Structure 1
Amino acid sequence: MATVGPFDLPLDGIEAVIFDCDGTLVNSMPAHFEAWCEALTYYGAASVFQEDVFYAMGGRPTKDIVVDLNSDYGLKLDPDAVAMKKREAFMQHLDRIELIDEVVAHARALRGKLPLAIATGGTRMVIEKTLQAVGVSDLFDEVVTAEDVANGKPAPDIFLHAAKLLGVAPEKCLVLEDAPAGILAAQLAGMTVVTVPSPLNLANS
């Protein structure tokens, strides 16, 4: 398991908890970055996506990131094709994913006490495979993906939809997030946010 430092959750007045997945619940970001590199290399755009830029864009839908790469580097990549190739590459790296133990411990402690959801910028197939790979699918009442809303993070849509499914007002939801786009999305949704330090940041600190 990957580790982050211990942190407490401000649960006073909270009626539901929503977790981001990649980088928050599971340490999957290195596997995602490698998949990005493979997909971009396949389409002749090797080395355009630097690792620090990748982490800064964490939490956003793949297609949205490809659109930005096209704009920033004058490319003409097909967002759908790159997303499919990236997804295929990631599926080959599922064995590299680790649970982030401190976050999972909170989820397990809250299971049955408060409704829990995942709100992720990933696609449903990838997230379901990820949760199955690390054995935590049964911890969550709802899983909301980028495919379930019109606008991905940093728009608040995904968190608002999760709150609606859980039947809890947004202002009574607590969000655990690691990425700037997700943190902003949760704040725009009017939710309380706990920033989860990523294993990468701790390793480089």
Structure 2
Amino acid sequence: MSFDALIFDLDGTLADTMPAHYIAWRATMAKYGISFDEDRFYSLGGCPSQKIVELLAEEQGMVLDSHTVAIEKEEAFLLEIAEVAPIEPVVELVYEYRGRIPMAVATGAMRYVADLILAHVGLADCFDACVTSEDTERHKPHPDVFLEAARQLKVEPEHCRVYEDADLGVEAGRRAGMEVVDVRNFFTPRRITIS
């Protein structure tokens, strides 16, 4: 092995959550008269919900309570969680290396949502650390979430392998000096058709 620890993004990497997240985003932002197309949604993968709300509101010249709207969006997502399935090729790696080397989750999700997703896909007890949007000031594409995961695992960043599904996360992993595996090379998320 060329690595001593594995760090996994959550949404779109361990769990096929992106369609459910997009449904929740569309419904929530429509209440405020903000459109949010699917390609743009995927381009912001890894960005915390509150930051996305701030960005979209600023672009529309609106003032929103970004924290409240982000919570509203997460609650809408949780209504869709039954549709979320594990991404099997990645989850198989978790089971293969569980107990053999340190492993962490490093996500832009809020902690309570991350915990619920991990429990839903049967991975709640598989990781030695879980770093969420509340644990760092800067978020992907900054490397902070991955560096904090490495710190908690007590493994040097250059000895960590990251699994990611979004451009912002891939960039963050590279900036952290870690080997990055882009799961889009072997997994394609479902897209949503909304009329």
TM-score computed with the length of structure 2 as normaliser = 0.93
Q: Deviations over 1:8-48 (max 9, x none)?
A: xxx32x10000000001110000001111121123x224x1
Cα distance in 2 for partners of 1:76, 1:196 equals: 36
C-alpha displacement of 1:72: 2.3
* Counterpart AA for 2:99: G
What CA RMSD, in Å, does the superposition of the two structures yield over aligned residues? Answer: 1.6
Q: Cα 1:201–1:133, aligned 2, differ >3 Å: closer, same or farther?
A: closer
Structure 2 counterpart of 1:143 = 130
Structure 2 counterpart of 1:128 = 115
Cα distance in 2 for partners of 1:189, 1:35 equals: 31
Cα distance in 2 for partners of 1:30, 1:149 equals: 26
- 1:76-87 equivalent positions in 2, closer than 5 A: 76-87=63-74
Structure 2 counterpart of 1:8 = none
C-alpha displacement of 1:57: 0.4
Report the 3-state secondary structure (helix = DSSP H, G, I; strand = E; otherwise coil) of the residue aligned with 2:125.
helix
Q: Deviations over 1:64-94 (max 9, x none)?
A: 1112112322232221121011011111111
Identity of aligned residues (%): 43
TM-score computed with the length of structure 1 as normaliser = 0.88
Report the 3-state secondary structure (helix = DSSP H, G, I; strand = E; otherwise coil) of the residue aligned with 2:189.
helix
Cα distance in 2 for partners of 1:85, 1:24 equals: 23
Task: Give the conservation status (yes or no) of the 8 Å contact 2:86–2:121.
Answer: yes
The aligned length equals 190
Report the 3-state secondary structure (helix = DSSP H, G, I; strand = E; otherwise coil) of the residue aligned with 2:152.
helix
> What stretches of structure 1 move > 3 A for 4+ residues in a row?
none
Cα distance in 1 for partners of 2:29, 2:57 equals: 12
Task: Give the conservation status (yes or no) of the 8 Å contact 2:102–2:128.
Answer: yes
* Counterpart AA for 2:33: A
